[in-house]
């Protein structure tokens, strides 16, 4: 009982302080944060090979606001796209070597599309530079997930070279990676991924976010749906002043429930479905 009282006291004090500064926190958000509403997961994940230019083009064509993808580095220092540390899954087991142990030439020889079907045979893994070139001016915001600590400076240099500091968002499970990106690209929209609920109640989970993000310039809560669990948690996070995001949401009914609860961003494997949900809601509100 004493422990519960202590937790509730902490929650109340922390929440009051945080809510008092919520308006100031939101004012600090870069303009791009308010444009990221619908988000494609690794491209049009449902219909095309993930983390490929072909998949990104399909996602862009749906009209989705943003598109998340993953960046890793080859042995000879080239930034390429892959969620996994190897291409084993993307090559149907043909290549099990770690990307960090492969040269870019070796990576480029791989077929990372055939696993999705004959139509995608001979698809190559793109570089970060090629991907930024594709997104620049497209109206779709690239959201880079940093998969490897130590690649931050090189990623920042690429973003700056493409003049896209205000047109890119970054996310990472590693808090230090995000801190570095704020240092290398001042004003960039970079935030932490994840959030492990464990056996926490909704209120305790929100209290954890408040404490864990007290040194972050942008207060973004971005746990996966398995950790978020319910729309009540979304509402509590919004009341505490957070920009609230979750992943992966493919069901239109759940999309609508989350939007009703005030969710800011949802990542989906089916961007065309999500865009349609947004359009239908907009039409109803006219």
Q: What domains lie within the chain, and their CATH numbers?
A: 28-285 (3.20.20.190)
The tens place of each residue's pLDDT in the chain, 286 residues long, gives 544 455 445 444 444 444 434 444 444 789 999 999 999 999 999 999 999 999 999 999 999 999 999 999 999 999 999 999 999 999 999 999 999 999 999 999 999 999 999 999 999 999 999 999 999 999 999 999 999 999 999 999 999 999 999 999 999 999 999 999 999 999 999 999 999 999 999 999 999 999 998 888 889 999 999 999 999 999 999 999 999 999 999 999 999 999 999 999 999 999 999 999 999 999 998 8
According to DSSP, residue 216 is labeled -
Could you tell me if 119 and 109 are in contact, meaning their C-beta atoms sit under 8 angstroms apart?
no
177: Cβ contacts below 8 Å, ≥ 6 apart: 146, 149, 152
In whole angstroms, what is the distance from residue 99 CA to residue 83 CA?
Answer: 11
77: exposed, middle or buried (Cβ count in 10 Å: 0-12, 13-18, 19+) = exposed
Look at residue 112 and give its three-state secondary structure: coil
- Indicate the pTM of the whole model: 0.90
């Amino acid at each position: 009982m004493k422990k519960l009282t202590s937790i509730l006291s902490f929650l109340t004090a922390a929440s009051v302080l945080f809510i008092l500064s919520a308006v100031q926190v939101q004012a600090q958000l870069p303009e791009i944060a308010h444009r990221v509403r619908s988000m494609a997961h690794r491209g049009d994940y449902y219909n095309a090979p993930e983390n490929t230019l072909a998949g990104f083009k399909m996602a862009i064509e749906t009209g989705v606001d943003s598109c998340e993808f993953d960046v890793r580095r080859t042995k000879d220092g080239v930034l390429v796209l892959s969620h996994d540390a190897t291409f084993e899954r993307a090559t149907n087991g043909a290549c099990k070597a770690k990307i960090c142990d492969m040269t870019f030439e070796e990576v480029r020889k791989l077929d990372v599309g055939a696993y999705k079907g004959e139509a995608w045979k001979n698809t190559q893994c793109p570089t970060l530079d090629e991907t930024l070139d594709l997104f620049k001016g497209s109206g779709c915001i690239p959201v880079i997930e940093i998969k490897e600590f130590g690649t931050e400076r090189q990623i920042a240099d690429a973003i700056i070279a493409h003049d896209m500091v205000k047109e890119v968002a970054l996310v990472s499970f590693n808090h230090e990676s995000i801190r570095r990106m704020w240092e290398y690209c001042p004003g960039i929209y970079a935030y932490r991924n994840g959030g492990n609920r464990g056996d926490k109640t909704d209120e305790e989970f929100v209290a954890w976010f408040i404490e864990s993000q007290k040194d972050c310039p942008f207060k973004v809560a971005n746990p996966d749906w398995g950790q978020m669990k319910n729309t009540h948690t979304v509402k509590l996070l919004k009341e505490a002043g957070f920009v609230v995001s979750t992943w992966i949401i493919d069901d239109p009914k759940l999309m609508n429930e989350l939007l009703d609860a005030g969710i800011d961003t949802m990542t989906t494997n089916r961007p065309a479905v999500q865009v349609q949900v947004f359009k239908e809601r907009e039409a109803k509100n006219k």
